[in-house]
Amino acid sequence: MKVCKTILETIGNTPMVKINKITKEFPCDVYAKVETFNPGNSIKDRMALKMVEDAELDGRLKPGGTIIEGTSGNTGMGLAIAAVIKGYKCIFTTTDKQSKEKVDALRAFGAEVIVCPTDVDPEDPRSYYSVSSRLVSEIPNAWKPNQYDNLSNSQAHYEQTGPEIWDQTDGKITHLVVGVGTGGTLCGTGKYLKEKNPAIKILGIDTYGSVFKKYKETGIFDKDEIYPYITEGIGEDFLPANVDFNVIDHFEKVTDKDAAVMTRRIPREEGIFAGNSAGSAMAGLLQMKNMFKKGDVVVVIFHDHGTRYLGKMFNDDWMRDRNFLEATKPKAIDLVANHKNQKLLTVDVDSTVSEALELLNKYDISQIPVTEKGNFVGSLNESYLFTRLIENSDVKNKSVKHLMQAAFPVVGEKAPIEEVSKLITKENNAVLLRDMGGNMHIITKHDIIQAVAKMS
C-alpha cells in the first residue's frame, strides 16, 4: 500500500506553481514553491524535524525530554508535530505581535505557549529569546533547538529544498526570492543552488525595522535600524548564525503595508492561500521587477498558510485600524455589520399598541416595522407613540393598524451610505435592508453615525 508510517513522512516534496496574474507584466516566468502542503502548513516543518533528529543522534535530546524554543509559530508547529510522534513535551515562547491563530495552533498540539513582549531587546529578560533560555536552564532534561543559530536549520534546506527546486525547474532557475528571518531557508537553499550554478541570484526580502539589508551592504550593525514592525516571519534585530551573507546577493526591504496588502492579493488573484511572509516576498519581487529579463526563471518561496493570519491581514477591521486599506464609503450591508446575524423584530398589525410598547421596552429599541401576513405594511416610532399616548391614553388598547405610520423604505445590500441617509428623515426614522439571501435588517440613525465615525 502507498501509505506513510507517520505524518512526518509527508514533509517535503511540495509543489511548484506558476504565478500568472500578479506578475503578468514581468518579462519572465515566476513560480511559487508552495510550502503550505507540509503537514504543519509551513516550510519550518523541514528544519524542525532535522533539528530534532540531529539532536537525537548526538544525545542533546533524550527520551522523554522537553523541547523549549522561541518561535513566531511555524517552527513551533513543526517541532510540536515531531514531538507528538516522538514522545516529547513542548514549551514555546513567542511575541505578542504574532497572530492569535498561530498561538492557538501550537496549543492544539498540546504545547504550552508563553507570550512575551515584542518591543524589548533580545538580551532583555522578558524577551522571548531570554525566557526560552531561562526555562531550559530550569527544567530538567530540556533542550532548546535555537533555530537561529542551529545550523541543522540551513542544512535541512541544503539537503531538501534546494534539490527539490533544482529538480522542479530542470536546473533552469535563475533567481531565488525568500523572506529572511532565521536565514535557514534562503541560505541553505541558496548554498545548494549556487553550487549547482554560481550565476543564480539569491535575493533576500527584509522588512523596515530589521538590520539585515544595511549590514549586508555596509558591514555595519546599526541599532538605529531597529524598531517595531508588524510583518511576521522575516527580519531580525540581531544576526543569526544561519544568515550567511556570502550566499545572499541582495536584500530588498518591504513596508508592513505593502506586505499586508500583497498578502491579501495572493489568494484573490492566484488562488493560493499563503501567509504574510509570502506577501512580503511578492511585494519585494514587484519592487525588483527591473532586475529580471526574458528567459529568467524566478522562484519565490511561500512559507506558510493564510489561516495563520485570519485575525490580521485577512481581517478588514485590523487592516483599516492600521491604515492599510484604502478608505471606501460603506454600503448598506456594512451599516448592519454589528447586528446582521440578529433576527429582525416586527409587530403584527393586529397586535395592540400596548404589546408593541412592550417590545420596544423589552429590547430597548425606538422603532419597529409592522407586518401583515409577512409583508411590511407600516412602522411605529416611540416618539410618535408617546405623543399619541399623552393625547389619549386609551390608544394603548387599540390595534397597531389604527396608529401605524408609513412603512420603512427598503434598499438592497449595495446601496451607498448617501442613499440610505437621505431616506432617514424627520418623518421616517429607519430603513429596511433586504440582503441577497432575502433576509431583512433595519438601519437606524445610530448605524449611520457609527459608520461615519469609522470613516473619519
State mean pLDDT over 412-429.
90
What integer pLDDT is reported at residue 450 of this predicted model?
84
What integer pLDDT is reported at residue 29 of this predicted model?
98
Q: For the domain bounded by 9-38+157-321, which CATH number is listed?
A: 3.40.50.1100
What pLDDT digit, counting tens, does each position of 379-406 carry?
999 888 889 999 998 889 999 998 899 9
Q: Kindly give, in sequence order, each residue whose CB lies less than 8 Å from that of residue 290, ignoring residues fewer than 6 positions away.
A: none
What pLDDT digit, counting tens, does each position of 75-133 carry?
999 999 999 999 999 999 998 887 788 889 899 999 999 999 988 888 899 998 899 99
Q: 9-38+157-321 and 44-143: same fold?
A: yes
Model confidence at 294: pLDDT above 90: yes
Q: Which CATH architecture has domain 332-455?
A: Roll (3.10)
> Alpha-carbon distance 97 to 256, whole Å?
13
Domain ranges (residues) in the chain:
9-38+157-321, 44-143, 332-455
- In this structure, the number of other CB atoms found within 10 A of the CB of residue 175 comes to 22
Q: What nine digits make up the cell of 161?
A: 529544498
Model confidence at 375: pLDDT above 70: yes
Q: Is the dihedral of CA 307, 309, 311, 314 positive or negative?
A: negative
What integer pLDDT is reported at residue 209 of this predicted model?
96
What pLDDT digit, counting tens, does each position of 156-183 carry?
999 999 999 999 999 999 999 999 999 9
> Alpha-carbon distance 152 to 188, whole Å?
9
Q: Are residues 148 and 121 in contact, defined by beta-carbon separation less than 8 angstroms?
A: no
Q: For the domain bounded by 44-143, which CATH number is listed?
A: 3.40.50.1100
In the set 2, 24, 44, 414, the catalytic residue is 44
Model confidence at 329: pLDDT above 60: yes
State mean pLDDT over 4-19.
97
What pLDDT digit, counting tens, does each position of 46-70 carry?
999 999 999 999 999 999 999 999 8
> Alpha-carbon distance 362 to 356, whole Å?
10
> pTM score, two decimals?
0.76
Q: Distance of alpha carbon 371 from its chain centroid, rounded? A: 43
Task: Give 340's pLDDT tier (boundaries 50, 70, 90).
Answer: confident
What integer pLDDT is reported at residue 437 of this predicted model?
87
44 catalytic? Reply is yes
- In this structure, the number of other CB atoms found within 10 A of the CB of residue 82 comes to 25
Task: Give 415's pLDDT tier (boundaries 50, 70, 90).
Answer: very high
